[in-house]
């Protein structure tokens, strides 16, 4: 059995479809990092960086942060050595401009060996991006978003469907669970508006450009969704196990 190299994987879907939850499971399963642009931006906001200050108001309103800022942030992150065997992009690309930028970036820049020993082995094969669209009915998404609670170390619960053992406390790290400010119902509708106008065309872009698109029903038990993602990824990478 040859080693499975996941390469770059995009998890696409509306707010609340389970991208973050599934990306974390894939990270554990495949040993590649989850790169969530939402998490990176929240980190910037917490640290009061220039980018964080610019993004703050837009994020609170459920609007998208400008493409150039997010693209630069992703470019920086993709230079980290942990992305070599692949990575899961969660929440990116969210606009056609971001999708086109990513294709261009991966084709021309990412993947250059910086280590001289590695460079001497010649060019590394670059795997193309594959996109997996998680699909969940919009009625279910509202409950998922408004019920979502997060622990200090990023463990995700839902007070309706996946509550912690003790109310408001993380089973794993013991921290108090909090709700994201943009998970309130009013902001959810704003985020869905941004999704329909700007991100739905990105899904069509991957569906219609090249043979690199898979769709997974996300309205099932966590394990079943993970299993479907895994087999979709294996199929797209022509991996037989
Ligand atoms: P998320 O955690 O993916 O739901 O993202 C939270 C918020 O961060 C979004 O509502 C946007 O304001 C911002 N954001 C995250 N990813 C992107 C992106 N790829 N492009 C623009 N804004 C983004």
30, two tokens:
């495949």
Per-residue pLDDT at 116: 55
| Catalytic annotation present for 139 | no
3-state secondary structure of 149: strand
The catalytically annotated residue of 63, 84, 180, 212 is 180
122, two tokens:
């010649």
- Spatial contact of 67 and 102, defined as CB atoms under 8 Å apart: no
Ordered structural domains, the chain, with CATH: 7-230 (3.40.50.300)
Strand 148-150 and strand 156-158: pairing? antiparallel
| Catalytic annotation present for 94 | yes
Distance (Å, rounded) from C-alpha 79 to C-alpha 60? 29
The torsion defined by the Cα of 233, 136, 75 and 28, in degrees rounded to 10, comes to -50
Distance (Å, rounded) from C-alpha 37 to C-alpha 70? 7
Strand 7-12 and strand 86-90: pairing? parallel
Distance 63 CA to ligand 1 centre (A): 8
The catalytically annotated residue of 25, 77, 148, 149 is 148
Q: What residues form DSSP beta bridges with 46?
A: none
Distance (Å, rounded) from C-alpha 160 to C-alpha 155? 16
Per-residue pLDDT at 117: 59
Distance 157 CA to ligand 1 centre (A): 20
- Spatial contact of 32 and 5, defined as CB atoms under 8 Å apart: no
Mean pLDDT, contiguous 10-residue spans, the chain (241 residues): 90 95 96 96 96 96 96 96 95 96 84 53 70 94 94 93 96 97 93 95 94 95 96 94 74
| Catalytic annotation present for 237 | no
- Spatial contact of 11 and 23, defined as CB atoms under 8 Å apart: yes
Distance (Å, rounded) from C-alpha 37 to C-alpha 73? 8
Residues within 6 Å of ligand 1 by CB: 15, 37-38, 41, 58-59, 62-65, 70, 91-92, 94, 98, 182, 191
Distance (Å, rounded) from C-alpha 2 to C-alpha 191? 41
Distance (Å, rounded) from C-alpha 66 to C-alpha 54? 9
């Amino acid at each position: 059995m040859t080693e499975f190299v996941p390469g770059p994987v995009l998890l696409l879907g509306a707010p609340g479809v389970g991208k973050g939850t599934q990306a974390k499971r894939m990270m554990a399963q495949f040993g590649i990092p989850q790169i969530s642009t939402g998490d990176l931006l929240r980190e910037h906001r917490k640290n009061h960086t220039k980018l964080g200050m610019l993004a703050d108001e837009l994020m609170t309103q459920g609007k998208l942060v400008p493409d150039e800022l997010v693209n630069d942030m992703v470019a920086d992150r993709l230079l980290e050595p942990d992305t070599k065997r692949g990575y899961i992009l969660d929440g990116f690309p969210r606009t056609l401009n971001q999708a086109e930028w990513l294709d261009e970036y991966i084709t021309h820049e990412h993947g250059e060996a910086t280590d001289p020993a590695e460079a001497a082995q010649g060019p590394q094969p670059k795997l193309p991006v594959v996109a997996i669209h998680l699909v969940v009915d919009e009625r279910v998404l509202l409950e998922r978003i408004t019920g979502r609670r997060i622990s200090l170390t990023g463990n995700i619960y839902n007070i309706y469907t996946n509550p912690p053992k003790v109310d408001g406390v993380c089973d794993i790290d013991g921290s108090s669970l909090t709700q994201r400010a943009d998970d309130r119902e009013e902001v959810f509708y704003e985020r869905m508006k941004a999704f329909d106008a700007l991100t739905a065309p990105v899904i069509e872009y991957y569906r219609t450009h090249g043979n690199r698109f898979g769709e997974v029903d996300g309205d099932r038990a966590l394990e079943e969704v993970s299993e479907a993602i895994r087999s979709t990824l294996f199929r797209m990478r022509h991996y037989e196990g």
